[in-house]
Structure 1
Amino acid sequence: MEFAKSNFAELGDVIVHYLSAGEGPETVVLLHGIPQTSYEWRYIIPRLAERYRVIAPDLRGLGDTSRPATGYDKKTVASDVWSLVHDHLGINQFYLAGHDWGGPVAFALTTQHQEAVKRLAILDVVIPGDGGDFSQNGRRWHHAFYRTLDLPEALSLGREELVLDWFFDHYGYLPNCISMEARQEYYRTYKKPGAFRAMFEYYRSMPTDIADNQAYIEKEGKLSLPVLALGGDKSFGRGKDAIESLRRVASDVRGGLIPNSGHWIGEEAPDFISEQLLAFFGERESS
């Protein structure tokens, strides 16, 4: 991949694939969503790498990262990211952004290591256990389906491209917003044995995620670090739900809407996202 270097790190029960770019004195960590991989950041990484060192891992079970049988609750996935960034790469502080399921992973990482996360950006997703309806009263119909045991694997076997294409065609503002080249890259990894099982496990772990987040908020209160929350304003974009969710779990939140974008923000609005992240991460705290 010309936009970034491909790397692997062996971290306990998982071998994590990650992209790296840039040599800035500060680091940005980008966490992808489902059904995507670190490849979703391909338009954004070069922009951020002009100023920052950028690290974009494939999350546990997804992309070219290995697929353990367990560990898909977001605290465990966040621990993978911490092991990569802190223990393996030796980075003590960093900026953090997460899209889709990468957002709850980023939130979980922040609750565990708030001293290390300088600023947090949550893109087109809400936080499980925030007091709202994660599945939008059933509008996101696949949440319940994906949490069903065994049946999704059976129905998807041999039809992986059909499943992925439905979401790529319907969750963006325009049906062609995910190029065929990008789809081929996502097909490559999601058609690997165990990849769809891992994808479903992110949803099956939701009750654990809700309990973990609610326990944190009850004990520690809202996050205090600066948070940027953005939601796509079209189609299946989260709209204002993103910022409303983060305001329930964090005290210093800004953001709003991503114009002319559905859910696939990295492909639909890369310039807008890049500019928002550069401006947000580049702010300096008043003394």
Structure 2
Amino acid sequence: MHYVIGGQGDDLMVLLPGWPRTWWQFRKLMPKLAERFRVVAVDIRGMGDSDKPGCGYDKKNMARDIYELVRSLGYSKAHICGEDIGGMVAYSYAVNHPEATDKLALWETIHPNEGFYGIPMLPQPAQDGLQWWLAFNMVKDLPEAVLTGRFRTVQDWIIEHYSGSPESYTEEDRAIYAAAYNTSDAIRAGNAWYQEWHQDMVDDKEYPETPITVPTLFLAGKSAPLIFPMIEKKAADIRTVELAGAGHFLSDERPDDLLAVLEDFFV
């Protein structure tokens, strides 16, 4: 498993990225967080420079990967943070390993549940924000055939349509993210995070009604009105924060605002 680590603090903070990103999405957060914490940004299973095995992409198993990483670094507990797919893994970590979780921070995500089956495939006229990739990434083999060597097109489209501030991405950022998903193996592995949602939903049904027992922070941008009611019932002790006008990728787009909220919550 590939990760980037630094910092001087006694407490460990784990940062888990989402699709279609890598540990690089935390580059603007890590220097400041490292003043207070030992910080590790992880390429989760199948991502970036981490291994891309043929199985094991359900979020419970991916959370186990992170649990074993925390132990291997010499810690019994950690603060866990995640965005998008990484947030699903972070959620599963806190539910399945509460004894190894200090605090939990999630943004722009919720664990897969049967409500996902209600996500519309067809947009209403003039509807903005159709998440077409949720279905496309479920298809086996076709995405690899279509996108291998061409993933920059997807990266640019996602940035232009789901970022609140496309100008926050440099050419280097776009190139790094595109390269991480440009091979057939990388596309297959990243899509496996979605293809295991059915198993994630089975696991979700087995969790308690209020599955998260640790202090939890949840942030969202434009999706806040939709997603806050879903997450608030999932944690016994939760604080929600809306970053008004923000798009989906808060750590890329609004790092200063995100840092201020994280530091207030974790310190």
Report the TM-score when normalising by structure 2.
Answer: 0.92
Which of 34, 39, 45 is matched with 1:60 structurally? 45
**Stretch moving more, 119-128 or 154-163:** 154-163
- Whether contact under 8 Å (1:17, 1:64) holds in the other structure is yes
Which of 76, 90, 100 is matched with 2:74 structurally? 90
Residue 223 of structure 1 corresponds to which residue in structure 2? 212
Misfit runs of 4+, over 6 Å: none
- Whether contact under 8 Å (2:250, 2:258) holds in the other structure is yes
Residue 8 of structure 2 corresponds to which residue in structure 1? 23
Residue 145 of structure 1 corresponds to which residue in structure 2? 136
- Whether contact under 8 Å (1:31, 1:56) holds in the other structure is yes
Percent identity between matched residues is 36
Q: Give me the whole-angstrom Cα distance separating, in 2, the residues matched to 1:101 and 1:135.
A: 19
Q: Give me the whole-angstrom Cα distance separating, in 2, the residues matched to 1:180 and 1:27.
A: 32
Q: Which amino acid aligns with 2:245?
A: N
1:223 is displaced (CA, Å) by 1.6
Residue 110 of structure 2 corresponds to which residue in structure 1? 126
Q: Give me the whole-angstrom Cα distance separating, in 1, the residues matched to 2:111 and 2:233.
A: 9
Answering whether residue 245 of structure 2 is matched by residue 260 of structure 1, we say yes
Q: Give me the whole-angstrom Cα distance separating, in 2, the residues matched to 1:243 and 1:117.
A: 22
Change (3 A) 1:58 1:169: same
Q: Give me the whole-angstrom Cα distance separating, in 1, the residues matched to 2:208 and 2:136.
A: 28
Q: SS of 1:109's equivalent?
A: helix
- Whether contact under 8 Å (1:123, 1:231) holds in the other structure is yes
Q: Which amino acid aligns with 1:137?
A: P
Which protein, 1 or 2, shows the higher relative CO under an 8 Å CA cutoff with sep ≥ 6?
2
1:179 is displaced (CA, Å) by 1.7
1:135 is displaced (CA, Å) by 7.1
RMSD: 1.6
- Whether contact under 8 Å (2:148, 2:184) holds in the other structure is no
Q: SS of 1:217's equivalent?
A: coil
What are structure 2's unaligned runs of at least 5 residues? 122-129
- Whether contact under 8 Å (1:18, 1:38) holds in the other structure is yes
Count the aligned residue pairs: 259
Change (3 A) 1:137 1:252: farther
- Whether contact under 8 Å (1:108, 1:213) holds in the other structure is no
What are structure 1's unaligned runs of at least 5 residues? 1-15, 283-287
Q: Give me the whole-angstrom Cα distance separating, in 2, the residues matched to 1:279 and 1:241.
A: 25
Q: Give me the whole-angstrom Cα distance separating, in 2, the residues matched to 1:242 and 1:254.
A: 13
1:249-272 CA-partner distances (Å, limit 9, x unpaired): 212111131123101111110011
Q: Give me the whole-angstrom Cα distance separating, in 2, the residues matched to 1:120 and 1:134.
A: 26
1:60-85 CA-partner distances (Å, limit 9, x unpaired): 11111111111111111111111111
More strand by share: 1
Which of 165, 176, 179 is matched with 2:167 structurally? 176
Q: Give me the whole-angstrom Cα distance separating, in 1, the residues matched to 2:158 and 2:6.
A: 29
Answering whether residue 152 of structure 2 is matched by residue 161 of structure 1, we say yes
Change (3 A) 1:102 1:78: same
